[in-house]
Structure 1
């Protein structure tokens, strides 16, 4: 049985028509009389996956008879198994449509003629398996240009899409965001001069060649290019506006190429799950505008040079299991505000030149099996407000100079099994208002309220949270209301 579900918010009305494969008589669809409902702003049509293809003609008639009123603003069609879309899905009958999603319409061979829908801003197509080409029909036959209002377009899971042609050399003039996911046969994009945000995911590597012509880009995400080995080959010749570059899950990527030096405006670079990368040196040193740098799960990376990054504010290096060296240390990172280094077991020690980090406010050091002490230079970083250390299996003591960190407000100590006591210098941290201790068995007894040997070092701290290794009652927690029942992790940025 097919059914509808209606909602009536204050300013709009939405109707969901589900299980439309059960409509046996097209007269039932006509009785819905949607074209006479001017207050209907959102429509959702869906068919189940077990539809009998012998009824495909009936499916097409059903959708034709569900023609909405021209006031409709948002439309989603999911699981439609017709070969063609209805005649009402054109400009003359969708005058107020702003957003349309076409999901798993697997038998439709062409996208609907939406180019002349005057207010259309968002178009999502997903699972359109039969579409081979996007061309003139998409824009509107016998017209000068199309999609004058379109801002966001997604082409997703279209395994047979081979070409996307501009119409008479023209493309959507306002399009600023494009997603292309799992389109393995698509090799080129039109020259989209207004495009600012581009996401390419698990598609043909040749598609990356189109990036060179998209010089208005400010954001680029490249993900799941399994055979990609290099970003060289003129990928970034004149990208003076690119602010953010993200590279995800390209396991064979060996080089980011010297072309990164052309990205004079780049502010954020993130590289995740790229095990083929071994070292980075010259690629980074010319990025003088870079503010955010993230490397995560790059297990082949052995060294990282941080020279020339005088504008860098946030640095995260996480789970790079082969990293042995931070070449050039940290002395050039005078603008750095947050530093996260975790899960790099071959990095036996942290750079000793942390005294140059005079803007540092947040520091996370996690999962270093070989680290026996905090770097000495850290004692000069009086700007530090939050310090989190965890999984330091060889750390036996915190330094007395921790009392020099006069701005420290938050201290977190997690899974430091061999840490036997707290330093007396903690008494000097008058701004420290939160202390968290979790899975540090030797500290638990020493920090017991009014009884522990280290209690007088921390008694002045307003909020103390301890998660005890062994079960205790809430009333035995030191102070702060949350007690030993759970660990409170605070969002620090």
Structure 2
């Protein structure tokens, strides 16, 4: 780590004399006074595998001039770079080098707290990008704005993991709905993106996690992804129910987790469609009152966890038909705990066939 300061021994230009390799984090870039100082750091001569460039949001950063040119001249040697992080950058535009197809070893990009930026770099042009994390870049509307010149091959051809966090104005992942975009994307995390509309068809997607407020159109588009194996919802205080048909085509789904969605009262009959489900986790659902009879249709279910669902007072009779259920955990659900007491509880006959049962008056922490 190199912390930029205003005195000799801490000036960015002094990096120019050093033969650096491996990983480098440069902090407090808001203290750089001129493009010349940044250029003298001679970053293009550094054979770095990881470069992390960060600005702190201070009065100094708001007054910094030529910040776009400063980032432009901080380009490292392109042939060795594997991971790039940019945090707190106050420019409106990113330099072209960040999306150069010549960055053939770059597999991970992390962009955070760049709140003045109107557009992201053209990251779809990076030929071997596998992981992309975008957080708190509040003005962007699209992740990908490229047309790819009408060619058959779209962008992000090798991307496997995409995380989108705190993007209040993001409305679509791609400006164009091209079927060949994101062909290898397997994991998608969406956190606090309330205006993100439906997903395009992502043929390799097997994991989705949606956290915080989200658009109903986003939920309705989940059904397109028949190869999905894990689906998680977390911390949505406004979600009262799931759209009709959201789970209808998810024939490969093995894990469904719904956590801290306090307004959900019932899980409707949609569960009947996810017949391949193996694990169901329900936690911190303060208003959940009922589990559907369709729970009994989940013939492959072997793990059921219910934690901190205080209004859930009984289990459906159909749970008796889950002969493959191996593990049942009930935590901090006072009424349900009483009904499921061994031998004496009213619901005990429904679950007596389950091999491993744990009932505790403590919340389960994941």
| TM-score normalised according to structure 1 size | 0.64
Q: Deviations over 1:420-468 (max 9, x none)?
A: xxxxxxxxxxxxxxxxxxxxxxxxxxxxxxxxxxxxxxxxxxxxxxxxx
Q: Deviations over 1:352-406 (max 9, x none)?
A: xxxxxxxxxxxxxx79xxxxxxxxxxxxxxxxxxxxxxxxxxxxxxxxxxxxxxx
- Please say if residues 179 and 198 of structure 1, whose CA atoms lie closer than 8 Å, have aligned partners that are also in contact: yes
Distance 1:284 1:88, change over 3 A: same
1:45 is aligned to 53
Indicate yes or no: 2:108 matched with 1:89.
Answer: no
Distance 2:75 2:59 in 1: 21
- Please say if residues 19 and 47 of structure 1, whose CA atoms lie closer than 8 Å, have aligned partners that are also in contact: yes
- Please say if residues 236 and 260 of structure 2, whose CA atoms lie closer than 8 Å, have aligned partners that are also in contact: yes
More off after superposition, 255-264 vs 100-109: 255-264
1:340 is aligned to 358
Shift of 1:299: 1.1
1:258 is aligned to 269
Shift of 1:203: 2.5
1:181 is aligned to 191
Equivalent residue runs for 1:58-69 within 5 Å:
58-69=66-77
- Please say if residues 261 and 284 of structure 1, whose CA atoms lie closer than 8 Å, have aligned partners that are also in contact: yes
**Number of residue pairs the alignment of both structures matches:** 337
Shift of 1:230: 2.1
Name the SS for the 1:29 alignment partner: helix
Indicate yes or no: 2:244 matched with 1:225.
Answer: no
Distance 1:56 1:213, change over 3 A: farther
Computing the radius of gyration over CA atoms, which structure comes out larger, 1 or 2? Answer: 1
Q: Extract structure 1 runs of 4+ deviating beyond 3 A.
A: 1-6, 51-57, 139-144, 330-334
Shift of 1:63: 0.7
Indicate yes or no: 2:206 matched with 1:196.
Answer: yes
Shift of 1:276: 1.4
- Please say if residues 232 and 259 of structure 1, whose CA atoms lie closer than 8 Å, have aligned partners that are also in contact: no
- Please say if residues 260 and 284 of structure 2, whose CA atoms lie closer than 8 Å, have aligned partners that are also in contact: yes
- Please say if residues 140 and 170 of structure 2, whose CA atoms lie closer than 8 Å, have aligned partners that are also in contact: yes
Equivalent residue runs for 1:125-144 within 5 Å:
125-137=134-146, 143=151, 144=153
Name the SS for the 1:307 alignment partner: helix
2:133 is aligned to 124
Gaps of at least 5 residues in structure 2 are 16-20, 341-345
Distance 1:262 1:168 in 2: 27
| TM-score normalised according to structure 2 size | 0.85
Structure having greater relative contact order (Cα 8 Å, sep ≥ 6): 2
- Please say if residues 225 and 249 of structure 2, whose CA atoms lie closer than 8 Å, have aligned partners that are also in contact: no
- Please say if residues 185 and 204 of structure 1, whose CA atoms lie closer than 8 Å, have aligned partners that are also in contact: yes
Name the SS for the 1:153 alignment partner: strand
